[in-house]
A and B are shown apart, each in its own frame.
Chain A
Amino acid sequence: MSKRPTVAEHLARQGVSRRAFLKFCAATASMMALPPGMAPAIAEALGQRRRPAVIWLSFQECTGCTESLTRSHSPTIESLIFDVISLDYHHTLQAAAGDAAEHHRERVQEEFAGEYLLIVDGSIPIADGGVYSTIAGMTNLQMLEESAKGAAAIVAVGSCAAFGGIPKANPNPTGAVSVADIIKDKPIINVSGCPPIPVVITGVLAHYLTFGTIPELDKLGRPTAFYGETIHDRCYRRPFYDQGKFAKSFDDAGARNGWCLYELGCKGPTTYNACATTKWNEGTSWPVESGHGCLGCSEPDFWDAGSFYKAVSMPISDLGKLGLAAAAAGAVAGVAVGLHNRHVKAGAKAAHKPLTADELEGDKS
């Protein structure tokens, strides 16, 4: 069926040195928490593979995920991945447009049925028949269902595809849902994040390409290699948390000393992601390091978890105001009940017949 070149052949043709490739494999191994000795084995396995067909569908999204993956300063291992796969369809990146592009997608789906990898970014609007997002006259829902049929596996890239993300935030006017909400019969890997960390995307792809298997996933379908621990578990500011040293504002002494950002709303404790270890921008820094709390972007409904600047232990709603309203209602109800009680008591008093000695006498007989 597939007459595509192997990865090794393709890389050689692209002029990528064996050394660069090995380096990529070593980085991938370390990211996937495999022993470094695995790198040659990965290189071996990967090299022998035919470049797999990949269809990338973008639905209700902001292109942030693609940006995250492609906007690197210099050619990096992240860009290398594109040399490994054959990205057959991707709105933003493909040269083809219109009918041609769509026909190509259909052709790949037919030709590589059961083999191709489907990558999705963006959520799928299903309200009102899915009219809120269409491509070439097809609703996202239709396109996803059609493309998913022949896919070997699906990678939901970004929190929108994985969990519905920002489009699903209250009040969710488009009825946005995640890929897993629609596709029930294919293996799905959720690579959440808004956007996900580029090396995490490539790491997951590399794993799939290398081993041809789905990595170990958590309850939410995320690879445990990257989402096994919370930001807070790995945060370098954690010692301050444990000592109870918190920045109280973004420019106080605590903030300058690099104290914990919990009180400023950091969602690190409830957020599973690899930012604290892989960092961003080729390991330059990451949000907490740059002085801002984690927003919890790799978790479902992170947009509905109240203000980004409210600590995890705080209620989402304004309970103070609510409590005052409830107190007003309670006071009115309480006074009503209390007055009723007084009325009942007055009734008992009015019915009082003084006890007499004669009555006590009479009772004895």
Chain B
Amino acid sequence: MSALNMERGVKAMMEQIDAPIASYFNSCVHCGLCADACLFYTETGDPKYTPIHKVEPLRRVWKQEYTFWGKLMSTLGLSRRVTDADLDAWQELVYDSCTMCGRCSAVCPVGNDIAYMVRKVREGFAVSGHATEGLAEAAIRTVNIGSPMGIKAETLKKMVASEAKASGIEIELDKPGVEYLLMLSSAEIMQFHEFIGAVAKVMDHAGATWTISTEAFEATNTGIQIGSSDIARQLVQRVVDVAEKLGVKTVISPECGHAYIAIRWDGPNLIGRPYGFQVKHIVEVLDEFRAQGRLHFDDSKEDMKLTFHDPCQMVRRGGVVEQPRRLLDLCADNFTEMPDSGVWNWCCGGGGGVSTNERAEPLRLKVFSRKKSQLDSIGVKAMVTTCSNCRNMLEEGLEEYGMDMEVLSLTELLAEHLDDSKASKGAEA
């Protein structure tokens, strides 16, 4: 018998249900507007993708365990308990067709935070053995090896060394007493490693001290995605331990939306105490440098027509909205907003662990049609973003739809246009 079972699943959901969730279920009027906000419905037309329907198992547990009537009914044997078969049937809805983008949460007229509930219902799925295989494996790798892609410290060291060489800037690993500790997502170590060089350039340019830890470098938190606070807590704790050991002032979340909310907003609640340091997204740090006059650009502004893809977790769920726009303004001449930009942006389709889920791929690519029509309406040559997962998903989507467009990292774009001669090296102590 597996240690993961239904009873544990129901108990986990019971633990998660709080006053907000009870209020959300009490409030839902079945208006279906959340469906109109969710790209999994708008792009497929299948009503089963209605957001509130995705959390039906959670609703059933709430009703049976925490409402007077539900209790009465279940005592009288008039209601059916949530079963393994139910969760099997819902697995696709909970993991494949929700990126926790929170667009539904932003439109629901009664104010239901459905994405919050999806996060919570996954707790029940995870401990009852109903998480998707891809996420389970990623979680196992992250816990056991340190990163969902199985990247080890050795690999990191190699990539960092090569980026240091390429940029000509020394990057000191595990250095105590610096101001910033940079975290990285696996994708930024393996595919988009130029990001490391770009950060090195900017830090050097701004005269900031920073480091990367070989003990805890992975920024993404698979615990959040699979829906296990236990695993998520372990992963956050690693970062906290290292950051406090090194005595940094600020931990930088890299270009990754989910990583950002995991460490910035969920972290303290997972470990049960506030941090002794601050957490900022790289874009927030860059924007602070800008505000402090520590960034200087050459005259070669990017004149390609480009737009910005808002990563859901950064804007709608993270609160970083204006910073990337201010930064783009410094280095790009021909910037156009997408329709529904900022907090109303549409997801790339691969957030919330969907990108880790092979089975979900066809669906994810199908719903990319929303991004396509957004892009078609403005006709740009390139798309800048601040999330490496989005970047991956966007590239795959563009390829699938045969669209010719570049996807750029904002940090990298910015680094390219810095004017080295005016660098404020050591300007600030």
Contacts and interface: CB of A to CB of B under 8 A. Distances in A.
B15 interface: yes
Nearest to A348: B14
A185 B231 CA distance: 86
A353 B126 CA distance: 12
Contacts of A354: 230
B11 A352 contact: yes
B129 A363 contact: yes
Contact of B15 (A337, A348, A359, A360): A348
Nearest to B138: A360
5 contacts: A355-B230, A356-B230, A357-B139, A357-B140, A364-B136
A361 interface: yes
Contacts of B133: 364
Given A349-B15, A353-B8, 15 more contacts: A337-B68, A345-B17, A348-B12, A348-B15, A355-B4, A355-B230, A356-B143, A356-B230, A357-B140, A357-B231, A362-B3, A363-B2, A363-B4, A363-B136, A364-B136
A93 interface: no
Contacts of A361: 140
A359 B131 CA distance: 12
Interface in B96-140: 126-127, 129, 131, 133, 136-137, 139-140
A92 interface: no
B265 interface: no
B144 interface: yes
A349 B4 CA distance: 16
Contacts of B11: 348, 351-352
B14 A360 contact: no
B66 interface: yes
B179 interface: no
Contacts of A362: 2-4
B144 A352 contact: no
Nearest to B228: A355
A295 B144 CA distance: 85
A208 to B, nearest CB: 60
A344 interface: yes
Nearest to A344: B65
A354 B3 CA distance: 11
A278 to B, nearest CB: 53
A341 interface: yes
Please classify the interface of chain A as helix (H, G, I), strand (E, B), loop, or mixed, using the class held by over half of its residues.
Answer: helix
A279 B367 CA distance: 77
Nearest to A361: B140
B15 A352 contact: yes
B144 A357 contact: yes
A352 B12 contact: yes
Interface string B132-163: 01001101100110000000000000000000
Residues of A in contact with B, size category? 10 to 19
Nearest to B7: A351
Given A348-B11, A363-B4, A355 B66 contact: no
B59 to A, nearest CB: 16
Interface in A276-301: none
Contacts of A363: 2-4, 129, 136
Contacts of A341: 65-66
Contacts of B3: 359, 362-363
B12 to A, nearest CB: 7
A336 to B, nearest CB: 10
A355 B228 CA distance: 7
Interface string A329-345: 00000000100010011
A360 B139 CA distance: 8
Interface string B212-249: 00000000000000001011000000000000000000
B177 to A, nearest CB: 33
B140 A355 contact: no
Given A357-B140, A362-B3, A363-B4, A344 B231 contact: no
Contacts of B230: 354-356
A362 B127 CA distance: 12
A105 to B, nearest CB: 65
Contacts of B136: 360, 363-364
Contacts of B129: 363
Give 4 closest A-B pairs by Cβ, nearest first: A357-B143, A348-B14, A354-B230, A348-B11
A101 to B, nearest CB: 68
A359 to B, nearest CB: 5
A171 to B, nearest CB: 36
A353 to B, nearest CB: 7
Interface string B26-69: 00000000000000000000000000000000000000011010
Most buried by B among A337, A353, A357, A364: A357
Contacts of B8: 353
Contacts of A345: 14-15, 17, 66
A329 to B, nearest CB: 14
Contacts of B127: 355
Most buried by B among A353, A355, A357, A363: A355
A280 to B, nearest CB: 55
A341 B17 CA distance: 11
B144 A360 contact: no
Contacts of A344: 14, 65-66
B318 to A, nearest CB: 26
A359 B53 CA distance: 29
Contact of B131 (A351, A352, A353, A360): A360
A316 to B, nearest CB: 30
A355 B144 CA distance: 14
Nearest to B3: A359
A212 to B, nearest CB: 64
Interface in A169-205: none
B71 to A, nearest CB: 9
Nearest to B139: A360
A360 B15 CA distance: 20
B126 A355 contact: yes
Contacts of B65: 341, 344
Nearest to B233: A354
A360 B136 CA distance: 6
A344 B131 CA distance: 25
A345 B66 CA distance: 9
